[in-house]
């Protein structure tokens, strides 16, 4: 497995077309809507306003990516009409995905600086320009590909200095992280993770915490619990889930789950079901 494939297999990426054409009025997003957003400004100018006084004026063709749901508003400015392509972006249940937790701030990248994906962006703009049968489906699939390419670009350029994106951009840590993501049920110890990274135990422990923002054992626990939540939602029995994510018993799984979620697996699942039925 490569550095991104496990994330993309375990957390389904889905784009839904939101806007295609001239931005005639403000476009608003709320943190409660449960999806990130991808915008491609083809021409014109817009003001991007976030919480508080975070404002940014975009005057050139630009990509804006909110991996996590965040409150913000896009407003057209100036006399020239702003042409915008926008999509809602979902990665399954975001609270379980450390990739999204690492991308908690929007990425704003001028299209002129994205030569590696220029042909893909051109294809999006070409498809968006003229109405065709199946246009929305094509734009949504191309948007999903663009998000994957954007994540790859973020790692290659090391746009994140902490968290799982920074860890995946670190070639030594990436070897350990990729192995953990691919086989969470394996009996991972600090020594085994360090060996995967090609580092000594003590050096790996310090480097992991510095880059990832938490100790290796804590990250492993959170990764396993995140996967367990998905399996529990799918109806798997607690005992089976415990084994699938690397715990030898329901009791040890329950302790780890409680440390992360503050509730037992059964109580957490009951709360999820009650919220869904509300």
Q: Which CATH number belongs to the domain containing residue 149 in this structure? A: 2.60.120.10
Domain interval for residue 48: 5-156
pLDDT for 68 equals 85
Tell me, yes or no, whether 121 and 27 share the same domain.
yes
Same domain flag for 31 and 143? yes
What is the rounded average pLDDT of the residues 201-205? Answer: 98
Q: What is the CATH number of the domain that holds 260?
A: 1.10.10.60
Could you give the CA distance from residue 14 to residue 224 in angstroms, rounded to a whole number? 23
Tally of domains within the chain: 2
How many other C-beta atoms can be found within 10 angstroms of the C-beta atom of residue 51?
9
The answer to whether position 165 is within a domain reads no
Residue 1's pLDDT band (boundaries 50, 70, 90)? Answer: low
143 & 267 share domain: no
Angle formed by the axes of helices 201-212 and 216-233, nearest 10°: 60
Asked if residue 237 and residue 187 are part of one domain, the reply reads yes
Which one is predicted more confidently, 184 or 10?
A: 184
Say yes or no to pLDDT of 100 above 90. Answer: no
Cβ–Cβ under 8 Å, residues 122 and 69: no
- Asked if residue 59 belongs to a domain, the reply is yes
> Of 156, 187, 205, at which residue does a domain stop?
156
Mean pLDDT over each residue of the chain, to the nearest integer: 91
Mark which of 95, 123, 156 sits at the end of a domain.
Answer: 156
Q: Are residues 125 and 260 in the same domain?
A: no
Q: What is the mean pLDDT of residues 6-33?
A: 88
Helical axes 171-182 vs 190-197, angle rounded to 10°: 130
Contacts by residues 25-31 (CB-CB < 8 Å, ≥ 24 positions apart)? 25/76, 26/73, 26/74, 26/75, 26/76, 27/73, 27/74, 27/75, 27/84, 27/86, 28/72, 28/73, 28/74, 29/66, 29/69, 29/70, 29/71, 29/72, 29/73, 30/69, 30/71, 31/69, 31/70, 31/71
pLDDT at 12: 82
Residues whose CB falls within 8 Å of the CB of residue 267, separated by 6 or more in sequence, listed in order: none
Same domain assignment for residues 55 and 131: yes
pTM above 0.85, yes or no: no
Tokens of 230: 């998905």
Look at residue 164 and tell me if it is in a domain.
no
- Of 94, 123, 156, the last residue of a domain is 156
Note whether residue 250 is domain-resident. yes
pLDDT of residue 93: 61
């Amino acid at each position: 497995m490569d550095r991104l494939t496990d994330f993309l297999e375990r957390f389904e990426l889905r784009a839904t077309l939101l806007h295609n054409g001239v931005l005639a009025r403000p476009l608003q997003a709320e943190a409660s809507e449960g999806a990130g957003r991808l915008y491609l400004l083809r021409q014109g100018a817009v003001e991007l306003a976030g919480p508080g006084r975070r404002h940014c004026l975009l005057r050139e063709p630009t990509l804006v990516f909110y991996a996590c749901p965040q409150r913000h508003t896009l407003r057209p400015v100036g006399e020239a009409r702003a042409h915008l392509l926008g999509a809602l972006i979902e990665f399954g249940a975001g609270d379980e995905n450390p990739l999204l937790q690492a991308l908690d701030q929007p990425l704003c990248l001028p299209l002129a600086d994205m030569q590696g994906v220029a042909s893909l962006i051109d294809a999006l703009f070409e498809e968006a320009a003229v109405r065709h049968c199946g246009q929305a489906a094509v734009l949504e699939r191309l948007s999903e590909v663009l998000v994957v390419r954007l994540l790859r670009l973020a790692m290659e350029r090391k746009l994140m200095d902490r968290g799982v994106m920074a860890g995946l951009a670190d070639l030594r840590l990436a070897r350990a992280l990729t192995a953990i993501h691919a086989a969470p049920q394996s009996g991972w110890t600090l020594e085994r993770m360090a060996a995967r990274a090609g580092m000594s135990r003590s050096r790996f422990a310090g480097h992991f915490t510095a880059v990832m923002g938490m100790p290796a054992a804590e990250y492993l626990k959170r990764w396993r619990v995140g996967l367990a939540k998905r399996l529990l939602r799918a109806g798997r029995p607690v005992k089976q889930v415990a084994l699938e994510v690397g715990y030898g018993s329901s009791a040890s799984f329950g302790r780890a789950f409680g440390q992360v979620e503050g509730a037992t697996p059964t109580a957490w699942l009951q709360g999820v079901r009650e919220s869904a039925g509300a």
